[in-house]
Amino acid sequence: MSEEAPSGISDHIVFHGPLSELYRLAKEGKVPTHLQGSHTRPCKFWTATKVLSGIRNSIVLTHGPSGCAYGVKQAYKLTNSRNSGSAYEPVVSTNLDQNKIIHGGEKELKGALAEIDAKYRPDVIFVATSCATGIIGDNVDAVVKKARGEVKAKLMPIHCEGFAGEYRSGFDLVFREIVKLMDPPTPESRAPLADAVNIVGAKMGAERTEVDTDVKELVRLVEGMGARVNSVIAGNCSLAELKRAPSVAVNCALCLDIGYAIGTAMRDTFGTPLNSTILPYGIAATEKWLTGAARHLGKEAQALELMEREYAAVKDEFEAARAHLAGKTAIIEGHDAIKCLSIAYMLTQDFGMRAIIYNFHPWSTSARETSIDYLLETGMDPEILITKGTLALGKYESMQQTEEELLRFLGDLDPAQTVYFGSSLSYPNIPLVDLNAILNRPRFGYRGALKVAQCVKTALDYAFRPRSSMTRRIVFPEKGGLSSAQSLTPKLAQNAPDCTVYAGQKGRGKCINN
């Protein structure tokens, strides 16, 4: 890798160059793109059930041992209850034991479908397969097919064995599968939904009631141009919403990557138009998002009016911040590929900054192809900086090694001209903006751009205050090393911004952001 990398190579930096270069090297197999054994992500089963957790009055029946069900229930359902005020939500398991693993679990599955139908009376039962039942070869499709005439709920098998794909394959699989629950559009079904959109690519349950979330902001903007949202798929959507979803004027992708799978599946199956941009952080991306939606809604004039109105509301503060930031350098943490690319887009387009994405794992080049292609096609090619710590066994998210490497890199930069966009758990010696902090929402739309501007201003205004030695010692204790936001103790994990960790048994539920 180092032989191929362009300029800027040092003892600690293994790649520093444009995204397009990293992308090319990865495709040519000249960059190791595998994740280290310590960099585990949620498996296909987890990501599949994360999307399924966002469909109201459905039951996820996990066919396998009970641990898989318990894990996702604690991570997703407990979080739904805590954040969104939703009632207790079960995740059911066929609870296979050693005996069933040897003799097969089809009988258990058949029995479980009947029991769940009677117990919960759900609209849909999703049968999510686990590693165990995938390996022993239970014929889940046949059991489900046979049970269809015997239970009231709709049944849908989801083949999401944990070993059957990388983590995002579970998202894509479920988004493609739930399209099968939808009704083909007719002129009659389209008429009442001519002014409606679906927001696609969401996961888990209802939005937090007490937080100005990004999705709420998008809904507000859609309504601001005289349209409405039929459904947020799959963010607490119902079967009825799903059934009529293809009849809307346009699907708007919440997240380019994840929304792409369902958006293209609905476009190919039903002809529902797809409007997708990178995550609508900031003004430029939001305007693309709104303009794309308006075109299909026939509301271009209203959208224009909305955009002018929204911009006018934030203009003074936003432009003051822009004037201050233009030409400065932004270092963006690369742990979440989609977010960092979207933030790079916003900072470049909206604020005229130079964006450098720090420790973007080369693994993301294959996992996030859609977003990277989009970014490159739109002429954006942010700088990528990868240090040795990113590729080491250990956890790069909050690892002492990567932290020291970051500080070394920043040593050459002027603190007055550089802003760090990343987690508050990092301690660079430059102003830091944490866009994941719960109070820094929404990040989408004009209000999001203003929020970013305000965050940057606050970070700069208080740059004179050294970061707390107390919190630094919490994150990086003496003799620390192999550490990770993914392995925080439960209490710390709960307070980690934006749910980057697994649920802890002792504490409140948490979600996995990726």
Partner 1 sequence: MYQQLTFENCAHSKDPVVGCALEGIAGIIAGIRDVCVVIHSPQGCAATVALGYDNHEIDFTRRKVACTRLFESDIIMGAGEKLKDLVRQADATFQTKVMFVVGTCSADIIGENIEGICKNLQPTVNARLIPVMAGGFRGNAYDGMDLGLKILIPFIKKPEEVTRVPKSVNLIAPQASLNPTWWADQAWVTEILKDMGVTVQSVFPRDASMHQIRHASTASANILLSHDVGYGFLKKMQDDFGVPPLVADLPLPIGLKNTERWLTALGREFGAQETAQRLIAEGEAKVIDLLRRRALMIIPRYRNCRVAVSADATIGIGLIRMLFEELEMIPEVVLLRSDSPEARALLESELDDLGIAPKVAFGVDGYQIGQALKSHSVDAVFGSSWETYLAQEIGIKLAFDVLAPTNRDVYLDRAYFGYEGMLNILERVGNDWEAAMRSKEIRWDQYDEGQRPAAARTSP
Contact call for residue 142 and partner 1 (CB under 8 A): no
Residue 115 CB, nearest approach to partner 1 (Å): 4
Residue 323 CB, nearest approach to partner 1 (Å): 39
Contact call for residue 53 and partner 1 (CB under 8 A): no
Q: What is the C-alpha R_g of the chain?
A: 23
Q: What is d(CA 416, CA 389) in angstroms, rounded to the nearest whole number?
A: 26
Q: How far separated are the first and last CA of the chain, in Å rounded?
A: 27
Residue 103 CB, nearest approach to partner 1 (Å): 12
Binding segment toward partner 1, per CB under 8 A, in 1-9, 195-203, 338-346, 487-495: 487-495
**Hey, which residues between 356 and 385 contact partner 1 (CB under 8 A)?**
none
**Hey, which residues between 22 and 41 contact partner 1 (CB under 8 A)?**
35-38, 40-41
Q: Between 44 and 244, whose beta carbon lies closer to partner 1?
A: 44
The backbone region for 340, taken as left when phi is positive above 0, alpha when psi lies in -120 to 50, beta otherwise, is: alpha
Q: What is d(CA 336, CA 514) in angstroms, rounded to the nearest whole number?
A: 7
Contact call for residue 66 and partner 1 (CB under 8 A): yes
Q: What is d(CA 498, CA 377) in angstroms, rounded to the nearest whole number?
A: 29
CB 277 within 8 A of CB 285: yes
**Hey, which residues between 198 and 257 contact partner 1 (CB under 8 A)?**
none
Length of the chain counted residue by residue: 514
Beta strand ranges found along 389-463 (DSSP E):
418-421, 432-433
Quick one: which of 81, 269, 378, 424 contacts partner 1 (CB under 8 A)?
81
Quick one: which of 6, 8, 103, 119 contacts partner 1 (CB under 8 A)?
119
Residue 164 CB, nearest approach to partner 1 (Å): 6
Contact call for residue 259 and partner 1 (CB under 8 A): no
Contact call for residue 90 and partner 1 (CB under 8 A): yes
Q: What is d(CA 124, CA 152) in angstroms, rounded to the nearest whole number?
A: 9
Tell me the C-alpha to C-alpha distance, in Å, between residue 66 and each of 62, 132, 162, 514: 8, 11, 14, 23
Neighbours of 170 (CB within 10 A): 27
Q: Between 279 and 425, whose beta carbon lies closer to partner 1?
A: 425
Quick one: which of 22, 31, 52, 92 contacts partner 1 (CB under 8 A)?
92
The owner of tokens 């710390």 is 492
CB 353 within 8 A of CB 330: yes
Q: What is d(CA 145, CA 148) in angstroms, rounded to the nearest whole number?
A: 5
Beta strand ranges found along 278-336 (DSSP E):
329-333
Contact call for residue 470 and partner 1 (CB under 8 A): no
Residue 491 CB, nearest approach to partner 1 (Å): 7
**Hey, which residues between 318 and 357 contact partner 1 (CB under 8 A)?**
none
Instruction: Say if strands 154-158 and 92-93 run parallel, antiparallel, or are unpaired.
Output: unpaired
Note if the bond before 442 is cis, omega within 30 degrees: yes
Binding segment toward partner 1, per CB under 8 A, in 78-86, 185-193, 264-272, 273-281: 78-86
Quick one: which of 45, 171, 345, 444 contacts partner 1 (CB under 8 A)?
45
Quick one: which of 15, 76, 126, 167 contacts partner 1 (CB under 8 A)?
167
Contact call for residue 168 and partner 1 (CB under 8 A): no
Q: Between 115 and 319, whose beta carbon lies closer to partner 1?
A: 115
Q: Between 78 and 314, whose beta carbon lies closer to partner 1?
A: 78
Contact call for residue 503 and partner 1 (CB under 8 A): yes
**Hey, which residues between 379 and 418 contact partner 1 (CB under 8 A)?**
392-394
Identity of the residue numbered 430: I
